[in-house]
Structure formats: structure tokens, C-alpha cells
Amino acid sequence: MVTITRKLGVQLFLVVTLSGIIPTLVTVYICLQFAQVRPLTPWEMIILGFIATGLFATGAAQAIYLVRHINNLLTKANAATQLGASRSGDQLKQLDSALDEMTADLRDKVRQLEARNEQLRTTNSQLEITNQNFQKLDSFKSDFIRFASHEFRTPLTTIRESVSMLSEGLAGPLNEKQTKFTDIAKRNTDRLIEVVTSLILLTKMRTQIKPEEQSIVSIKGPLEDAIKRVQTHPNFAVLNVTEPDPSQLASVLGDRNLLTIAIQNLLNDALTHAYPETQATVVLAAEGNSLTLTVGSRGSRIVQGKIGKAFDGLRREITPQNLPSGHGSILDLTIASEIVKWHRGTLEVDALSNGETPVIVRLPKATTPSPVKNGGAESASSKPQQPQPALVQ
Amino acid sequence: MNPPMTAASTAATQPTAPRRILIVDDDRDLAEMISMRLTASGFDVDIANDGMMGIAKVKERIPDLIVLDVMMPKMDGFEVCAALKEKLGARCPKIILLSAVTAGLTANAEQIQQQSGADAFLTKPYNPPILLAKITDLLDL
């Protein structure tokens, strides 16, 4: 602004000088030159005076016009500058206001973040405590399994062995009543051992995180083993196994011992609850990608109204009459169910119109061909393609 | 659960000359029961109630076979087994491990047997005829 005014002043000075004073001075000079040659007449002096005055007046008028014009320009420029400054001020105020709001927002958000951070710290410490508690619980479960395994099984083994030796007559001959008592003691010790063993197995299955090494198992092996194990069952004679077609003998990826236990439990359950003069049936079939094992019998094994609860933990058994105890435990179906789930299979009960409630087990077939060794497990080094089954919690 | 001992099975396990069996188990009652069972089958039986005592008895006189419990104070069955195998080498008697505890879901007898270096592995509650059959088999009777 200051720079512009100075420039205009210099220009004004030059214009006034050039357009007014200089022509006047030139006129005066010419008059003086004439005056040296001869004295000027009054008319000549008047005319020269008019010319000089005209020239001066013209220059002055031009100068005044220029000054006014410049003044106008300066006024406009000043107004424009003032308007621009005013606009910038508003914008700055708006900007300042917006920045204030943003700062306030940011402070608020920082406070919220700090509060959340604190909450997270608290939650984290709570989680750590919970985790420690879980670890303690896990350790307690492991200790319980070890304790139950050792502290229950060992004395039970001793009791059973004592009773067995008594009943075998190793401590002398027994009379009929004594034999009856030792038989009852032996059977019930066996029953107790089975319950303890089942509980330990169930606890292990529900708590063990790491699945054991898997192998491809032909279902024929566990089925044959399970049948052998139930041969001492009083109702074994009613068991009718449909000889499977060799094409139906598919393999599954799993644990042979566990599969044997599952099938044994199902057979025990079917035999124990079979009505007199009926059959317990076992049918093995391959359907698509699944292997189906159906174990059925007509009896009181699963009350039709309670089919949905057949595998829920401790099922209250309906003890058949005239059947000695000690064949299977109340956890048989639950354990079978856990084992089947552990192998990524399904287990369901069908309700047939004839009153039969067959248990249908479906297991996924192993994806790789299964060269069967000794009707059972193949080496784990065969690297089966099927994913490792996860434990059912 | 277990079939009763029959006269035939007892006779089958009756050794011609008494073989010496050492039972190492901290459960005195069970050790006594096994001892009675084996004595009735014609074996010469001795008992040790912990691992250290078991090793000491083996040093005194090497038995033909040891029935060794796994869970014991001071030295567990695996440690006793390893110590005997290391000290006696080829002269080490046959060892049957007996355990109520299994680490896995089911007892993988073959695996435990291989890892421990024992000659056989049985879980408690053991089946007397199976125990006798194992002993007979291991002693070539």
C-alpha cells in the first residue's frame, strides 16, 4: 500500500512538471528571447501572456485530472483491500473456531481413549486372573484324573483280587453261601471298576486338549475286538452280527482302542436291555463318504420319550430283571457318543414302530486308501489326509 | 469281568523249577495279593515296597522277572526300569510294568513298553490270567 502511494506521488510530480510548468517556462523563455531582439508590443505581451497562461492552465488541469483519477483508483484499491482484509478475518475466525472445536473433540477423544485404555487394563488383569484360575482348574482336573486313576483303581484291584482268590478257593474251600457272597462282591467290584474307568475316560475326553496320534483304522478290527470283549455277557447268544460285505469294510481315521470301546459300549447296552427271545443286531454299511454302524435291540435300553437325552451324561438305567449287574455302566452311551464325536462322527437314536431304538453311528471314511494290517490299525506314518479330529468339550 | 482262574490255567503256569519273581509296589496290600497269586502258581516271590528297595533287592540277587508298579514315591517304575537296564544290561531280568495311570485316553501298551524299555505293560485293574500268561510267556515256561 505504502509502495503504491510513493510511486503515484513521483508520477504526479513528473506529470505536473512536464505538462504545466515546463511549457510555461518555455513560453517565458521565448518571450525573453524576443525581447532581446526588439521590445515587445503590448498586444504581443498580452497574446504571449494568454499562451503561457493557457499552457499552464492546460497542464494544471491535466495534473488535477490525473490526481483525481489516481485518488479514485487509490480509494477503490483501499476499499478492495479493506474488503479483502475483512473477508480473511472472518475466515480466520471460522478457522480458529473450527480448530478450537477440533481441539476440544480431540481432547475428548483422548480422554475417552484413556478411559478405554484403563478399562482394557482392568479387563486384561481380570483375564489374567481368570486365565490363572483356568490353569489351576486344568491342573486340578489333571490331578483329579491322576488321583482317581491311582487312588481308586489300585484299592479296587486289591479288593477284586482278594475276592477272586477267595472265590477260587485259594484260602480254603467255600460253602455255597460264602461262594454266593464272594460272587456278589466280585461282580459289584467289577461294576465299580467299570464306572471309575468310564468316569476317568470321560473326564479325559472332555478335558484333554491334544488329540492323540491318529491312524487309519479298518472298522473290522474294532468291531471284532468289541465282539470278543462282550463274549462273557449273559445275553451274548442273542447278538446277531450281519457279516459285512468286504466292500463295506471302509476305514476311518482315529484311535482303534477308543473305537473298540465305543462299539463295545453300544453292544453291551443293546445286549443288557434286550428283551428275552429277541435279537440284538449289528449292521455295518458304507454310505457315500460315511461308514454307518447300526446297533439295535428290542428292549428297555432307551425309553422312546427320552431319546433326545439318551447321551446326556448320567442316564438312569432301567435295570433288567434276571440279569446280573457288571455288564456295562450307566455311562456307556455317553462315552460312545463322546468317542464318536471325537472322531467327527454322529450318533443318533431311531425310534422304530416295533419299539426298537437302534443307535446309528456315522463316521467319516478316511480319505486315503486303507491297506489293512492285521484287520486293524495301520502305521501313523501313512500320513492320512483327513484333518485331526478335535476333542469334544 | 475276569474269567476265574481254572485249574488248567494254574497248571499251565506251574513252573518245573521255582522261578524267582520280585514284586515292586508301594501298595503293600496289592503287592501281597499278587504275591499270594504267584506263590499259588508255584513261583518264588519276594516283595519290595519302593523303587530303591527294589534295586537293592535286585543287587542282592537278580530275579527272573520283576513286576514293577509305575507310580511310586522316591523312584517311579520308569526310573527303576531305566536304572536296572543301565546297570545290568543283558543280565537285566524281564520287567512287567503295572500302572493304574495312563497319560493318554487309553493305555497304548506297546508305546509305553517301547518308551520304558520294559518287556510288557499291564494296566490296573489287571487281569490275573493275563498277568500269569505274560509271566509264562516272558519266562518261556
Q: Using CB atoms, pick whichever of B1, B27, B124 lies closest to residue A326.
A: B1
Query: How far is it, in rounded angstroms, from Cα B27 to Cα B47?
Result: 11
Instruction: State the total domains in chain A.
Output: 1
ipTM above 0.90, yes or no: no
Average pLDDT over residues A105-117: 94
Query: How far is it, in rounded angstroms, from Cα A100 to Cα A45?
Result: 80
Task: Measure B61 CA to nearest chain A CA, in Å.
Answer: 28
A258 interface with B at CB cutoff 8 Å? yes
Q: Among the ranges A201-210, A239-248, A258-267, A327-336, which has the highest mean pLDDT value? A: A258-267
pLDDT at B101: 67
Query: How far is it, in rounded angstroms, from Cα B67 to Cα B95?
Result: 6
- For the segment A68-78, what is each residue's pLDDT rounded down to a tens digit? 877 788 788 77
Beta strands in A80-121 (DSSP E): none
For A170, nearest residue in chain B (alpha carbons): B40
Query: How far is it, in rounded angstroms, from Cα A7 to Cα A2?
Result: 9
Residue to substitute from B106, B114, B122, interface A, most A β-carbons within 10 A: B106
- Cβ partners under 8 Å of residue B79, min gap 6: B51
The C-alpha cell at A133 is 484360575
Strand A359-364: give its sheet, edge to edge: A239-241, A280-287, A290-297, A359-364, A346-349
Answer whether residue A58 is part of any domain: no
Q: Cβ of B29 and A158 within 8 Å?
A: yes
Answer whether residue A169 is part of any domain: no
Answer whether residue A373 is part of any domain: yes
Region of residue B89 (phi > 0: left; psi between -120 and 50: alpha; otherwise: beta): left
Q: Three-state SS string across A166-222, please? A: HHCCCCCCCCHHHHHHHHHHHHHHHHHHHHHHHHHHHHHHHHCCCCCCCEEEECHHH
A377 interface with B at CB cutoff 8 Å? no
User: A344 is in which domain, residue-wise?
Assistant: 212-382
CA B106 to chain centre: 20
User: Prior bond to B125 cis, omega within 30?
Assistant: yes
The C-alpha cell at A99 is 480448530
For A201, nearest residue in chain B (alpha carbons): B105
Report how far apart, in Å, the C-alpha atoms of A369 and of each of A119, A216, A373, A385 are: 55, 9, 13, 10
CA A65 to chain centre: 87
- Which of the two residues, A3 and A155, has the higher pLDDT score? A155
- Cβ partners under 8 Å of residue A221, min gap 6: A256, A260, A372, A374, A375, A376, A377
Chain B residues with CB-CB distance to A165 below 8 A: 33, 36-37, 40
- Which of the two residues, A222 and B16, has the higher pLDDT score? A222
Long-range (24+ apart) CB contacts under 8 A made by A168-176 are A168/B4, A168/B5, A170/B36, A170/B37, A170/B40
Contact A342, A368 (CB under 8 A): no
The C-alpha cell at B25 is 509296589
Burial class (CB in 10 A: 0-12, 13-18, 19+), B105: buried
Average pLDDT over residues A25-44: 76
For B27, nearest residue in chain A (alpha carbons): A154
At residue A308, does pLDDT exceed 70?
A: no
* Helix, coil or strand: residue A110: helix
What angle in degrees, to the nearest 10, is found between the helix axes of A42-147 and A22-37?
A: 160
Contact A300, A320 (CB under 8 A): yes
Neighbour count for residue B120 (Cβ, 10 Å)? 21
Confidence of residue A4 (pLDDT cuts 50, 70, 90): low
Contact A284, A263 (CB under 8 A): no
Q: Cβ of A160 and B125 within 8 Å?
A: yes
The C-alpha cell at B126 is 489287571
A&B contacts, CB < 8 Å: 75
Whole-number average pLDDT of chain A: 76
- Residue B131 identity (one-letter amino acid): L
CATH level 3 topology of B19-107: Rossmann fold (3.40.50)
* Helix, coil or strand: residue A297: strand
Answer whether residue A366 is part of any domain: yes
- Which of the two residues, A49 and A182, has the higher pLDDT score? A182
Answer whether residue A333 is part of any domain: yes
Report how far apart, in Å, the C-alpha atoms of A29 and of each of A36, A43, A214, B139 are: 11, 18, 129, 158
Would you give the end-to-end CA distance of chain A in angstroms? 85
- Which of the two residues, A187 and B48, has the higher pLDDT score? B48
Q: Cβ of B106 and A257 within 8 Å?
A: yes
At residue A12, does pLDDT exceed 50?
A: yes
CATH of the domain at A248: 3.30.565.10
The C-alpha cell at A11 is 508520477
Residue to substitute from A143, A149, A198, A206, interface B, most B β-carbons within 10 A: A149
- Which of the two residues, A213 and B95, has the higher pLDDT score? B95
Answer whether residue A207 is part of any domain: no
Q: Which residues of B14-25 are buried (b: 16+ CB within 10 A; e: fewer)?
A: eeeeebebbbbb
For B1, nearest residue in chain A (alpha carbons): A190
At residue A106, does pLDDT exceed 90?
A: yes
Phi then psi for residue B37, to 5 deg, are -60, -45
Counting Cα atoms < 13 Å in the Cβ hemisphere of A226 gives 29
At residue A390, does pLDDT exceed 60?
A: no
The pTM (predicted TM-score) of the whole model is: 0.56
- Which of the two residues, A176 and A296, has the higher pLDDT score? A176
Q: Cβ of B33 and A155 within 8 Å?
A: no
Mind listing the pLDDT tens digit of every residue in chain B (141 residues)?
Answer: 344 444 334 444 554 678 999 999 998 998 999 999 999 999 999 999 999 999 999 999 999 999 999 888 888 898 999 999 999 988 999 999 988 766 555 556 666 777 778 899 888 888 888 999 999 999 987
At residue A338, does pLDDT exceed 50?
A: yes
Long-range (24+ apart) CB contacts under 8 A made by A106-115 are none
- Which of the two residues, A158 and A10, has the higher pLDDT score? A158
Answer whether residue A12 is part of any domain: no
pLDDT at B35: 93
Supply the DSSP symbol for B126. P
